[in-house]
Structure 1
């Protein structure tokens, strides 16, 4: 006698399975401080229990460094017995994962402690706490859009062990040319891009435009702006998973490494922000191309907090390879209108769409922490009525000396000495983040690279 058919009780589970009765299992996903997705895979029949009781995961997932090891200096490992916390589903994120061979779904989770409070080390909660400040103290709603750059690379490494561009699906030739905004490049990879678009549609990810970027195999996919910054970052995290998964189906890898090639442009994450007032209008718009006074105060806050937040924009050793002159990667806190040589840009466009663009971070940044950083800077500038100074005209590289922390250690020290950000992120979270990254840096510092062997092994 066969067992009775599963009858889901939770409305969200029931609706999902009515639409996708073939699904057998679901990935339960939490984004760690590095933006790496961690969690569990469960049978679909366990979903009601997940929604009712949550699922246990150790808080030490937020102490995991880029290699997956627990940074014990965070205090989240042996010191507390690697204790479990409780993760609950994020409403509206139960979706089909169409790239799997087996019928699969996925569900985003967020972590809470055993008293039901948001777990302090969860990056999503750090963003949520910053958003609360906007509504509680300012009555404003941030509108956020995320732009992600990435490279498609061949599964086979180059002779030197590094990455190499893929073979073009259209020509079979290795990609070597650079045609920024090239339509041919979009045509050549249309099967990949079309499947990404289809996966985004079924997952409710509001992907907008795709463009070929400044290097062979480099692309950018933009997400539509939305007035729910948490959802905007959920979509950014899930878009990365879509891109990686679909790339593998097409015989390639996708990398969000900030600087995979020494002689080609790096990949960034750009955050666009405007603010809605109580009447639903854009408070950055005042009928002029310059924008209103609130826009200037927001820029002032971002400039004042940019150096101390650099370790969140550039979270690892490779991140700092991006920061070179004349590469459209900022080296100095400065702003301008319609100018990509500065850290903060006011894009051209109609008054109702007036917004700022934060251009500092690499593609390797955690979207939740990066957006929290940007919004914290804006909130600080608005509440302190800060002045950003005059905008830059022309090439910022030719006018300004580099002044941001441009090494990993300098950036971590700047965050450790931060005067503004602890009030937004919490000292406990920053302690965990810094311990995580300092442990990772120590590992990296003791590694001997092949370049060192090439230069020094037989010459000194």
Structure 2
């Protein structure tokens, strides 16, 4: 059996250890990174593990509102047929905040004959990992999660506003980046977050007050398995959202929820290990410059960034994040210990050298982000691409040979992704077709909506 599919013995041990669990959320992650599925009762878990669970292919053809997109080829053109979902090994965990107590397990979608379904984002990442493994590279990495905590109800101006401190209800409206008092004021929320993460086996580490009122960052420990690192991020978002809701707050994973404030990113830290577990991005003995393999990886990411921007910035709101000097990269640049670039080599020990990929918003699908990043790295290594000189500060404005290949907005990103042989190869034909159809449907939905700004600018003046 596929090594990613869990064995029944795993669930048996879990149920024996947790007799109080009454139900289980079974979660399939769609193209937008949204978890969809069912809540099954405890006794149904055995059938899931032994026989799989029938779910319709249309789940992978939904837009962000949860409506079918027929153009994906996953809805009525195939009769909204059932496929088979199987539990993913190692992802059966408690939801400790639920009463009665529930658990959760992630799913992968397969054809009835056992073939991985081409529109499942997790399978796309698996394919990239297998190709890199065949070439002697094992990706390692971790995601960072930036997000806002907002009041559940809108503010006096009917717009979202940062949540009051959970400890004492205080508000200040200041940025207070790296402010420890803000973290202390939110401990009644973050304390349970860490407890729940421990219960789920999520390697949650540093907590930071980010560059806006109500904005925070949680980091995850580096894993030698990038597929599990993406699972970590999917599970952490669900955990944070659920606990915020239970404390009267909204955990907001929009890329740009508040005008004039920093957007929220989902940076991916990544390196390649050889078969012996040694870091292939480490500097060569006696040198301090990035080694040739790392330079080629950067070269591939710079060269393909424009084609991948629809993955990194998948929604209309995603593009509001790209504002100069608010820590979101606006050019395909790279640099060393420089946060103004899209691809950053952080400071640190040479043997722990890694690359930080910074373009993605927190609204992106981590499986698709990792897939596209790995494909870019493979492209650079295969073609021996040199990234050119590193930026020396002000990477926001530095022009590169690849800048002309960057889409200017969401509509242009959709058009560029549709024409990209690179992205089609990275995602696979079926996922590429479905993802583009979903994005086109969402673009049409946005285009048909008249925003309040139009009325303010034009209603009485044109």
Equivalent in the alignment of 1:125: 123
Secondary structure (helix, strand or coil) at the match of 2:208 reads strand
Equivalent in the alignment of 2:395: 396
* Residue among 189, 210, 227 paired with 1:230: 227
* Residue among 26, 36, 40 paired with 2:24: 26
Equivalent in the alignment of 1:313: 312
Equivalent in the alignment of 2:3: none
Can you list the C-alpha shifts for 1:258-299, whole angstroms capped at 9, x where unaligned? 000011000000001111112221111124432211000000
Residue 421 (structure 1) shift: 2.4
* Residue among 418, 421, 439 paired with 1:437: 439
* Residue among 407, 410, 414 paired with 1:408: 410
Residue 217 (structure 1) shift: 0.8
Can you list the C-alpha shifts for 1:140-178, whole angstroms capped at 9, x where unaligned? 100011001000000110233321011122342334011
RMSD: 1.3
Equivalent in the alignment of 2:369: 370
Whole-Å separation in 2 of the counterparts to 1:192 and 1:302? 37
Whole-Å separation in 2 of the counterparts to 1:175 and 1:240? 26
Whole-Å separation in 2 of the counterparts to 1:390 and 1:258? 30
Can you list the C-alpha shifts for 1:322-380, whole angstroms capped at 9, x where unaligned? 01111121111110000010100000000111010000010000000001111110111
Equivalent in the alignment of 1:54: 52
1:223-372 correspondence to structure 2 within 5 Å: 223-285=220-282, 286-287=284-285, 288-372=287-371
Residues 64 and 70, structure 1, Cα contact 8 Å, conserved in 2? yes
Residues 144 and 272, structure 1, Cα contact 8 Å, conserved in 2? yes
Residues 209 and 222, structure 1, Cα contact 8 Å, conserved in 2? yes
TM-score, reference length from structure 2: 0.95
Q: Decide which moves more: 449-458 or 359-368.
A: 449-458
Equivalent in the alignment of 1:423: 425
Secondary structure (helix, strand or coil) at the match of 1:34 reads coil
Secondary structure (helix, strand or coil) at the match of 2:421 reads coil
Whether 1:455 and 2:452 are equivalent positions in the alignment is no
* Residue among 136, 140, 155 paired with 1:139: 136
Whole-Å separation in 1 of the counterparts to 2:208 and 2:65? 31
Whether 1:106 and 2:104 are equivalent positions in the alignment is yes
TM-score, reference length from structure 1: 0.96
C-alpha change, 1:398 and 1:10, in structure 2 (3 Å) is closer
Whether 1:148 and 2:150 are equivalent positions in the alignment is no
* Residue among 121, 142, 160 paired with 2:157: 160
Equivalent in the alignment of 1:183: 180
Whole-Å separation in 2 of the counterparts to 1:391 and 1:233? 28
Equivalent in the alignment of 1:115: 113
Secondary structure (helix, strand or coil) at the match of 2:276 reads coil
Residues 212 and 219, structure 1, Cα contact 8 Å, conserved in 2? yes
Can you list the C-alpha shifts for 1:403-445, whole angstroms capped at 9, x where unaligned? 5213111001111111322222112211111011001110110
Equivalent in the alignment of 2:4: none
Can you list the C-alpha shifts for 1:213-249, whole angstroms capped at 9, x where unaligned? 0011100001111111111111100000110111112
Secondary structure (helix, strand or coil) at the match of 2:148 reads strand
Whether 1:66 and 2:64 are equivalent positions in the alignment is yes
Equivalent in the alignment of 1:207: 204
Residues 301 and 379, structure 1, Cα contact 8 Å, conserved in 2? yes
Residues 331 and 398, structure 2, Cα contact 8 Å, conserved in 1? no
Equivalent in the alignment of 1:6: none
Whole-Å separation in 1 of the counterparts to 2:397 and 2:13? 57
Q: Decide which moves more: 119-128 or 287-296.
A: 287-296
Residue 87 (structure 1) shift: 0.2
Whether 1:36 and 2:38 are equivalent positions in the alignment is no
Equivalent in the alignment of 2:190: 193
Residue 398 (structure 1) shift: 4.2
Q: Decide which moves more: 401-410 or 203-212.
A: 401-410
Residue 187 (structure 1) shift: 0.6
Secondary structure (helix, strand or coil) at the match of 1:131 reads helix
Residues 151 and 249, structure 2, Cα contact 8 Å, conserved in 1? yes
Residues 175 and 217, structure 1, Cα contact 8 Å, conserved in 2? no
Whole-Å separation in 2 of the counterparts to 1:48 and 1:207? 30
Whole-Å separation in 1 of the counterparts to 2:349 and 2:240? 31
Whole-Å separation in 2 of the counterparts to 1:299 and 1:308? 15
